[in-house]
Amino acid sequence: MASHIVGYPRMGPKRELKFALESFWDGKSSAEDLEKVATDLRASIWKQMADAGIKYIPSNTFSYYDQVLDTAAMLGAVPERYSWTGGEIGFSTYFSMARGNATVPAMEMTKWFDTNYHFIVPELGPNTKFSYSSHKAVNEYKEAKALGVDTVPVLVGPVSYLLLSKPAKGVEKSFALLSLLSSILPVYKEVIAELKAAGATWIQFDEPTLVLDLDSHQLAAFSAAYTELESALSGLNVLIETYFADIPAESYKTLTSLNSVTAYGFDLIRGAKTLDLIKSAGFPSGKYLFAGVVDGRNIWADDLAASLTTLESLEAIVGKDKLVVSTSCSLMHTAVDLVNETKLDSEIKSWLAFAAQKVVEVNALAKALAGQKDEAYFAANAAAQASRRSSPRVTNEEVQKAAAALKGSDHRRATNVSARLDAQQKKLNLPVLPTTTIGSFPQTVELRRVRREYKAKKISEEEYISAIKEEISKVVKIQEELDIDVLVHGEPERNDMVEYFGEQLSGFAFTANGWVQSYGSRCVKPPIIYGDVSRPNPMTVFWSKLAQSMTSRPMKGMLTGPVTILNWSFVRNDQPRFETCYQIALAIKKEVEDLEAGGIQVIQIDEAALREGLPLRKAEHAFYLDWAVHSFRITNCGVQDTTQIHTHMCYSNFNDIIHSIINMDADVITIENSRSDEKLLSVFREGVKYGAGIGPGVYDIHSPRIPSTEEIADRVNKMLAVLDTNILWVNPDCGLKTRKYNEVKPALTNMVSAAKLIRTQLASAK
């Protein structure tokens, strides 16, 4: 019985790639140094899977930034502004597309389906010229083969690549991206030919868009693409991999009718209905089923007995020699190796499996199906499953009762937003186009050292508080000198916006090295929600009150919202997600009320990940949005009219949920806008009325580029064309923690200057 891994984490067990990338970007190391780190990481990953007994080992799932950007490079789809003149695409062009440079902005970045991973959105048009411009897929296959590992090269499929793209600037929004299919397939044919010549016998096309709601024209594109590639693929075994949701019946029918395809990969964790489809609609005779039974998106140990039962039922349908045990999706969405967690509670640790352990689980299931079951391994797994089900630390009856009591109320504030804004303005006395930032300020090396030493008990609590107080004072002074209207304390006490809160809530556990890539070199360390959630003590009140005491200007209290804490954590899988979310909402509600009692007049409850959690299928949207929006309202339903509630969202497509955003009933929302070519504004051009305060971001903080005053003023004027003056705020796209002060200060200076310039113009126009 064979085993397969869809993909593997890229950063390395100690984030080796992250540090190599940042060193290269800072000019401290060479391209050769970066490539050496990458080569060593790839070799260790391939060896690990080979040693574990995995038969179908992926290659070309490693990336210096993002697999969709890699595909754009392979196709030579470089926007003109990067002045690429042809040939093999190197780091300079590649990273300019990802991050921008001193003269041109980066390409748009958005969420990869419903995960916290981000991809670079290709920009295409009728005049885009395609050419084979990155040989990465072939080179990595050869690299693995030279090490004695025969891999399955992985490519983003041609149809998903186009469906995930967008019309380039200046191209009609109605441009049919699928019309470019015939233009990109010749490049795919060149890649396939080179892989065959190098000795590849299998090839994997990731076509995750097959799980979306596709129309007949889009489904026809899959048939057309793989029919056109049929002769090129002759002699190869072809796997089409899908993940993140169940595959609709029509898509299943289209996929399983493709003559050129040998095998189909399905996510049987988030796509449980696919299992029913396979059983009811049948499975094509002679084809392979790559059964994704081991969860690639969470850290819980697999219930091996349950998975084995599922696999045995599938074996009866597809045949013993045609069933391959696989992960539900790439393991890049989970942490790397549980071995590195030497301080994690032993009971909780026994319930977990990171990427390295999931590789072992996959192979153990494959061996069990082949009659070589490791009885001791299965017994230990069953004991861990039983321990988790019965552990008293998982359940808190008081919390469950409080969450159950939420039913029957929509938890709206008593007064409408227009009246609240009037009351808040009388108290805050803000100018037209008030300026603010999103929360965090640069996280310096010194600041990280202080937090690290405090955690390691190398400095006292008094020394830690003194250092953080000094940093807050510096951030407050900078903002006052810049003349920003509503201040933030900069979050120097926080390494991560979710981890910080999880550390202070019950029901959460934390890892030392459970890092997961979010985008580029950015890694996050999601907390683990293993039990019922409550707030034993105030979490931010001390720091917020301290910061407010340093200034007469309004100081935001900064919180992470319940939906974002949920979506950016590894969540318990033994109860519905919405039940856990309601528990978190009640905990945040207590914090909001304590901040208000402490004199904080502006409280921001970030819901950066609300859109990210939207199910991939439209039929499931309403239920999710109902409980997600309700959870946000729970957090602030009890505050006074004069307390201004902000929220923040970033790096997703918000236009399709704008009415749910309005339904959140926040007083002010700041929202990413600039990197996505201001497409957020289109929803207001189309007539949606928004009565609360709103701050569409005026510049992209994920790029080192510093925008000019004129550029920002131009963006603000575009906003004023569709939004009322009295509701518009001026702010960056997102928090500033990833930037340096020599980038932040001039960018914010220009932002404030732009706001003042337009205020003057508005006053003179009266």
Helix axes 621-636, 577-597, angle to 10 degrees: 20
Using CA atoms, how far apart are residues 392 and 263, in angstroms rounded to an integer? Answer: 44
Q: What values do phi and psi take at 55, rounded to 5?
A: -85, -50
Closest Cα to residue 98, out of 124, 74, 75, 79? 79
Token pair 């009388």 in the structure block, residue: 426
Consult the annotation and say whether 439 binds a ligand.
yes
Consult the annotation and say whether 522 binds a ligand.
yes
Consult the annotation and say whether 606 binds a ligand.
yes
Residues in CB range of 427: below 8 A, 6 or more apart: 601, 642
Using CA atoms, how far apart are residues 40 and 59, in angstroms rounded to an integer? Answer: 14
Question: What is the DSSP track for 46-96?
Answer: HHHHHHHT-SBEEES---SS-HHHHHHHHHT---GGG---SSS--HHHHHH
Using CA atoms, how far apart are residues 749 and 682, in angstroms rounded to an integer? Answer: 28
Consult the annotation and say whether 630 binds a ligand.
no
Q: What values do phi and psi take at 265, rounded to 5?
A: -110, 130
Helix axes 16-25, 31-52, angle to 10 degrees: 170
Consult the annotation and say whether 18 binds a ligand.
yes
Consult the annotation and say whether 523 binds a ligand.
yes
Using CA atoms, how far apart are residues 569 and 526, in angstroms rounded to an integer? Answer: 5
Consult the annotation and say whether 648 binds a ligand.
yes
Consult the annotation and say whether 574 binds a ligand.
no
Q: One of 4, 118, 489, 702 is an active-site residue; which one?
A: 702
**Does 4 qualify as catalytic in the annotation?**
no
Consult the annotation and say whether 374 binds a ligand.
no
Consult the annotation and say whether 650 binds a ligand.
yes
3-state class of 103 per DSSP? coil
Token pair 């998975």 in the structure block, residue: 307
> What are the structure tokens assigned to 764, written together?
């003179």
> What are the structure tokens assigned to 706, written together?
């510093």
Instruction: Report whether 184 contacts 161 (CB < 8 A).
Output: yes
CA terminus-to-terminus distance, the chain: 78
3-state class of 234 per DSSP? coil
Separation in Å, CA 72 to CA 53, 404, 542, 572, 718: 33, 49, 48, 36, 30
Question: What is the DSSP track for 156-189?
Answer: E-HHHHHHT-EEPTTS-TT--GGGGHHHHHHHHH
Consult the annotation and say whether 461 binds a ligand.
no
Consult the annotation and say whether 116 binds a ligand.
yes
3-state class of 26 per DSSP? coil
Closest Cα to residue 238, out of 224, 248, 249, 227? 227
Closest Cα to residue 704, out of 22, 16, 168, 18? 22
Closest Cα to residue 34, out of 73, 75, 92? 92
Using CA atoms, how far apart are residues 88 and 110, in angstroms rounded to an integer? Answer: 26
Compute the C-alpha angle 701/702/704, nearest 5°.
Answer: 80
Residues in CB range of 416: below 8 A, 6 or more apart: none
What one-character DSSP code corresponds to residue 652?
Answer: S
Report the binding-site residues. Answer: 18, 116, 438-440, 491, 496, 519, 522-523, 568, 606, 648, 650, 659, 672, 734
Report the binding-site residues for L-homocysteine. Answer: 438-440, 491, 606
Report the binding-site residues for Zn(2+). Answer: 648, 650, 659, 672, 734
The catalytic residues are 702
Report the binding-site residues for 5-methyltetrahydropteroyltri-L-glutamate. Answer: 18, 116, 496, 519, 522-523, 568
